[in-house]
């Protein structure tokens, strides 16, 4: 008798894939400062605030040891991208994008993969023939803050499937599933057919899930669609779109929802849900 292999997504599996993806694609982004003064000031401030919390809450030696053990395990499971993007990135995004006049940005998260299928303005994302989930069309226009349509802008899009899993980070999902790089038409317009994604739950079997459970928090992000919108001469917009009435909208574990980023899907002519969203880009400074 043979037993079919069971392919269950694990925290260590998605974590190590996220760590690999970060090293390959994002590790070199931007230039870290080599300004000794800035490093000194920031590192000293962060450490000082940790010291303060320890004093204020009278951390015990067993607790210090537990924290040390947990930090080691986060690395072993490859969960640093997940931990940082869920609990820290939203503040970096807020600081960096505060001056934008166009569409609101939000966090990129750990599951972006570059180099996906290049698709025309009206398209269907790569998906399985039996892909679960309600069909959904995202259409709209990319414009500059002054209203100029940005023909040929690209909408790099990625979303979780109906089980809340991302291709590239869970077993048994084909590479590139529900991912694509869409080139808008001459007027900046696009119409992308996909599915309604499910909410995302942080894996319970990993270190991040363990912390969340131990603290009595919930581990959910509301259903969302990720996009990275770019056009030459404009600041790339990394954001996410959510769904009106969606579960966890008001308690996103990653604190990455914004009222301006909520879609109001409506039934289209053929009964398929359509959501319209126009992306407005700021010029490069
Ligand atoms: C996600 O799908 C996500 O978008 C973020 C930011 C963190 C964890 C999972
Ligand atoms: Fe996501």
Q: In this predicted model, what pLDDT tens digit does every residue of 250-261 receive, in sequence order?
A: 999 999 999 999
Q: How many angstroms does the Cα of residue 96 sit away from the middle of ligand 2?
A: 20
Point out the ligand 1 atom lying closest to the alpha carbon of residue 200: 2
* Confidence grade of residue 285 (pLDDT, cut at 50, 70, 90): confident
Name all residues whose Cβ lies below 6 A of ligand 1: 82, 85-86, 107, 109-111, 200, 221, 254, 256
Handedness of CA 65, 70, 75, 80 (dihedral sign): negative
Confidence of residue 212 (pLDDT cuts 50, 70, 90): very high
Q: What is the pLDDT of residue 25?
A: 87
pLDDT at 4: 54
From its phi and psi, is residue 235 left (phi > 0), alpha (psi between -120 and 50) or beta?
beta
pLDDT in tens, 75-119: 999 999 999 999 999 999 999 999 999 999 999 999 999 999 999
> What is the mean pLDDT of the segment spanning 125-147?
98
Determine the residue of 111, 163, 258 to mutate for testing ligand 1's pocket, defined as the one with the most ligand atoms within 8 A of the Cβ atom.
Answer: 111
Residue 170 and residue 168: Cα distance in Å, rounded?
A: 6
Residue nearest to atom 3 of ligand 1 (CA): 109
Contact status, residue 11 vs residue 165, Cβ threshold 8 Å: no
Q: Which residue has the tokens 């931007």?
A: 30
Query: Strands, E, within 134-224: which ranges?
Result: 135-144, 154-159, 179-183, 189-195, 200-201, 220-221
Whether residue 10 has pLDDT greater than 50: yes
**Residue 213's pLDDT band (cuts 50, 70, 90):** very high
Q: What distance lies between CA 63 and its chain's CA centroid?
A: 32
262's tokens: 């909520």
**Which residue's CA is minimally distant from atom 6 of ligand 1?**
109
Question: What gap in Å lies between CA 170 and CA 19, rounded to an integer?
Answer: 14
Whose Cα sits closest to atom 5 in ligand 1? Answer: 109
- On the question of pLDDT at 33 being above 90, the answer is no
Residue whose CB lies within 8 A of the most ligand 1 atoms, among 94, 110, 207, for a mutation test: 110
Nearest-ligand number for the alpha carbon of 109: 1
Residue written as token pair 């009106």? 244
Q: Nearest ligand to the C-alpha of residue 157?
A: 2
Q: What is the pLDDT of residue 1?
A: 47
Domains, the chain, ordered by start:
10-26+34-285 (2.60.130.10)
User: How far apart are the CA of 109 and the centre of ligand 1, in A?
Assistant: 5
In DSSP notation, 8-31 reads: ---HHHHHHHHHHHIIIIITTSS-
Count of other CB atoms within 10 angstroms of residue 92: 12
DSSP symbol at 5: P
**Residues 6-22, mean pLDDT to the nearest whole number:** 86
Please name which of 237, 121, 133 lies closest in space to residue 188, comparing C-alpha atoms: 121
Distance 160 CA to ligand 2 centre (A): 7
Q: Taking a C-beta distance cutoff of 8 angstroms, is the pair 198, 163 a contact?
A: yes
Write the DSSP string, 224-265. Answer: -EEEEEE-TTB--EEEEEEETT-TTTTS-TT----GGGEE--
- If one residue of 94, 109, 169 were mutated to test the ligand 1 pocket, choosing by the most ligand atoms within 8 A of its CB, it would be 109
Q: 236: pLDDT confidence band, cut at 50, 70 and 90?
A: very high
Question: Given the CA of residue 160, which atom of ligand 1 is nearest to it?
Answer: 2
User: Looking at residue 118, what is its pLDDT?
Assistant: 98
| pLDDT for residue 269 is more than 90 | no
Length in residues, the chain: 285
């Amino acid at each position: 008798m043979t037993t079919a292999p069971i392919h269950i997504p694990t925290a260590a599996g998605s974590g190590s894939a996220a760590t690999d993806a970060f090293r390959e694609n994002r590790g070199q982004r931007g230039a870290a400062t080599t300004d000794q003064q800035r490093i000194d000031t920031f590192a000293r401030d962060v450490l000082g605030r940790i010291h303060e919390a320890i004093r204020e809450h009278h951390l015990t030696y067993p607790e210090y040891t537990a924290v040390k053990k947990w930090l080691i395990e986060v690395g072993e499971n490859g969960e640093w991208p997940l931990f940082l993007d869920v609990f820290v990135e939203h503040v970096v995004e807020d600081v960096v994008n505060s001056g934008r006049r166009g569409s609101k940005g939000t966090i990129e998260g750990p599951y972006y993969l570059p180099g996906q299928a290049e698709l025309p303005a009206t398209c269907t994302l790569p998906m399985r023939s039996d892909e679960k989930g309600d069909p959904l069309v995202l259409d709209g226009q990319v414009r500059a803050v002054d209203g100029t349509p940005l023909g040929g802008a690209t909408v790099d899009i990625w979303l979780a499937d109906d089980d809340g899993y991302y291709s590239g980070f869970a077993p048994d999902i084909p590479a590139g599933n529900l991912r694509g790089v869409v080139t808008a038409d001459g007027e900046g317009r696009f119409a992308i057919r996909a599915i309604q994604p499910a909410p995302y739950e942080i894996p319970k079997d990993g270190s991040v899930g363990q912390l969340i459970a131990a603290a009595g928090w919930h581990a959910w992000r509301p259903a969302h669609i990720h996009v990275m919108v770019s056009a030459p001469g404009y600041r790339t917009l990394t954001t996410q779109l959510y769904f009106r009435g969606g579960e966890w909208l008001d308690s996103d574990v990653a604190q990455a929802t914004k009222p301006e980023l909520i879609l109001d899907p409506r039934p289209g002519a053929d009964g398929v849900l359509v959501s319209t969203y126009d992306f407005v880009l700021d010029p490069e400074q």
